[in-house]
C-alpha cells in the first residue's frame, strides 16, 4: 500500500535560489543601495530554518514495515520503522478563509513512532481518500494496535 503527495517543493527551492541570486546582482549594481544586498543574508538564515523541515512525499506499507519518503535539504531521504509500534490518528479541522467566512476542511494523519512523529496533511498534497485507504489497509491486515 502506498500513498503519495502531489506537492512540488523542489520548484519552491529552485525559485528561491534563483530569486536570491538575481536580487544580490541587482543590489550590487545600485551604488547607493548596496546595503540592500544584506536582505538575502537574513533570508539565508530563514532558509536554514526551512531546510530543517521534512516534507513528506509518500508513505508505503510493506510486510509490517512503514517507509516514509521525504524531501529535506535538497535530498530525498527514507525512514523505515516497524508497523507494530506505530500509532495512526486521522484528524479533521476547519479553516476560515478571509473575512467572508468561507471555510475549508483539512485532514491530518499523524503517524507516531517510538522515535518520531510524522504529520501528513491535505495541505501538503495528500488526499483524504488515500488516508482512509491506508487506515483500512492497516485494519484489514490486522496491523492495528
109 pLDDT band, cuts 50/70/90, is very high
Element (H, E) at 45: helix 39-51
Give the per-residue pLDDT at 83. 87
111's grid cell:
503517524
Nearest CA among 18, 24, 22, 15 for reference residue 42 = 24
> In angstroms, rounded to a whole number, what is the distance separating the alpha carbons of residues 96 and 78?
34
Range 41-47 contact pairs with CB under 8 angstroms and sequence separation of 24 or more: 44/20, 47/16
What pTM does this model have?
A: 0.68
11 pLDDT band, cuts 50/70/90, is low
63's grid cell:
510486510
Nearest 5°: phi and psi at 142? Answer: 55, 40
94 pLDDT band, cuts 50/70/90, is confident
92's grid cell:
479533521
Q: What is the pLDDT of residues 14-63, one digit of tens each?
A: 677 777 778 777 777 777 777 777 777 677 667 666 667 788 889 998 88
Give the per-residue pLDDT at 144. 53
Amino acid at each position: 500500500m502506498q500513498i503519495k503527495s502531489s506537492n512540488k517543493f523542489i520548484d519552491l527551492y529552485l525559485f528561491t535560489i534563483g530569486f536570491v541570486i538575481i536580487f544580490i546582482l541587482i543590489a550590487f549594481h545600485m551604488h547607493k543601495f548596496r546595503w540592500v544586498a544584506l536582505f538575502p543574508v537574513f533570508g539565508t538564515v530563514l532558509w536554514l530554518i526551512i531546510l530543517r523541515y521534512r516534507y513528506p512525499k509518500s508513505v508505503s506499507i510493506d510486510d509490517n514495515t512503514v517507509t516514509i519518503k521525504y524531501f529535506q535539504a535538497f535530498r530525498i531521504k527514507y525512514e523505515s520503522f516497524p508497523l507494530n509500534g506505530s500509532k495512526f490518528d486521522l484528524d479533521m479541522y476547519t479553516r476560515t478563509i478571509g473575512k467572508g467566512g468561507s471555510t475549508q476542511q483539512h485532514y491530518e494523519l499523524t503517524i507516531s513512532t517510538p522515535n518520531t512523529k510524522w504529520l501528513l496533511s491535505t495541505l501538503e498534497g495528500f488526499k483524504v481518500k488515500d488516508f482512509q485507504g491506508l487506515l483500512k489497509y492497516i485494519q484489514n491486515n490486522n496491523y492495528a494496535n
